[in-house]
Structure 1
Amino acid sequence: MDFTQTLFDVIDFRSFSNLWFWIVLAVAWSTASHWVLGVPFDMVLRAKRHGGQALTDLEDLVRINVNRLLYVARMSGLWLAGFSAFLLTALMTMAVWYGVELAQAMALIMVPMALVGLLSLSTARRIEERAPQGEELCKVLHRQRIWTQGIGTVSIFVTGMYGMYHNLLVLYGL
């Protein structure tokens, strides 16, 4: 048996019929909804319940992560925006125009994640401007998580529907 054929059989670039794609999709959205602005959400819940040192730790960690995120955005945000736009445009071109299944699968993950990234940047700016503390900070982080989960839910649904549609097309040769 040819080595390259064996390698491609193991890797299997047919994304929507591959279990690894669905695992990556689930892990990506699980991670995105658990880490809100770089802060684990269980830390938000602990700070909300217990206050005191847990709340102080949360406020410090949010301040650090917001400052880090905004520093990167201010120093290289234009370059990152340009590179991201190029990458997403190239990916969408391969996915839509050329019908590359791997590009379609990656686009169905990366485009919604880009929206979550923009939402995180917007939330970080809002936190920097208003400097919420205590319960108000927990509400801002909770709202960010709800929006991330909403985008993730829609994304998973659309990806699931498109994946089933694609697999049926391949199965019946349409």
Structure 2
Amino acid sequence: MTVFQTIFDLIAIRSFSNLWYWIALAVTWSTASHWVLGVPYDMVLRARRRGGVAGEDLHDITRVNVRRIMGISREAGLVLAGLVPAILSFLAVTGFLYDSELAQAVFLLACPLCIVWLASLRLAKRLEPGLETGMPVELLIQVLARHRLTIQSVGLVAIVVTALWGMYQNLRYSVF
């Protein structure tokens, strides 16, 4: 058995029957819902409980991350607006039209993450002026908590759709 055969056996191309894909899916959505606009959600909870310095820290890190997101949007927004849909289209066509399970798996992971990125970008654009002028911490906590709920909702739908599609694919290729 060659080294390449061992690697390909370890990283099976049949993604939906591979445990590593499901672990990656769970870790991805867990991470996405923990880091809201690049701010760890435990900081939001700490600011809600303690206020004061924790609230100021939350305000500061949110302002920095919103500036970073908006900077990326301004600098690379046009390129990303063309490149990301092209990649998603390639994955969708390759996956669902040409029946590539790996492309399907990557598409089912990437497409909802793009929805989360667009929602985060929209929120960052809305928050940017308020963070510069001194938005109340209570309002910021509420907005970040609501955005986390949005991310978790998208993640829940994505996991359910991916699980259903993965079960369908596994049943389709199983031999009884």
The alignment's TM-score, normalised by the length of structure 2, stands at: 0.95
- Of 140, 143, 150, the residue aligned with 1:140 is 143
After TM superposition, which residue ranges in structure 1, 4 or more long, deviate above 6 angstroms? none
Q: Which residue of 2 aligns with 1:160?
A: 163
Q: Which residue of 2 aligns with 1:83?
A: 83
**1:105-144 CA-partner distances (Å, limit 9, x unpaired):** 0011000000000000001011114443211000110011
Q: Distance in 2 between matches of 1:66 and 1:6?
A: 44
Q: Which residue of 2 aligns with 1:72?
A: 72
Q: Which runs of no fewer than 5 residues in structure 1 stay unpaired? A: none
1:97 and 2:100 correspond: no
Identity rate, percent = 50
Question: What SS does the aligned partner of 1:13 have?
Answer: coil
Q: Distance in 1 between matches of 2:116 and 2:175?
A: 36
Size of the alignment, in residue pairs?
A: 173
Q: Which residue of 2 aligns with 1:116?
A: 116
Structure 1 window deviating more from structure 2 (152-161 vs 4-13): it is 4-13
**1:79-104 CA-partner distances (Å, limit 9, x unpaired):** 11111111111111111111100000
What root-mean-square deviation, in Å, do the aligned CA atoms of Structure 1 and Structure 2 show? 1.2
Q: Distance in 1 between matches of 2:3 and 2:112?
A: 36
- Of 123, 147, 154, the residue aligned with 1:151 is 154
Q: Which residue of 2 aligns with 1:46?
A: 46
The alignment's TM-score, normalised by the length of structure 1, stands at: 0.96
Structure 1 window deviating more from structure 2 (137-146 vs 3-12): it is 3-12
Question: What SS does the aligned partner of 1:12 have?
Answer: coil
Question: What SS does the aligned partner of 1:99 have?
Answer: coil
Q: Which runs of no fewer than 5 residues in structure 2 stay unpaired? A: none
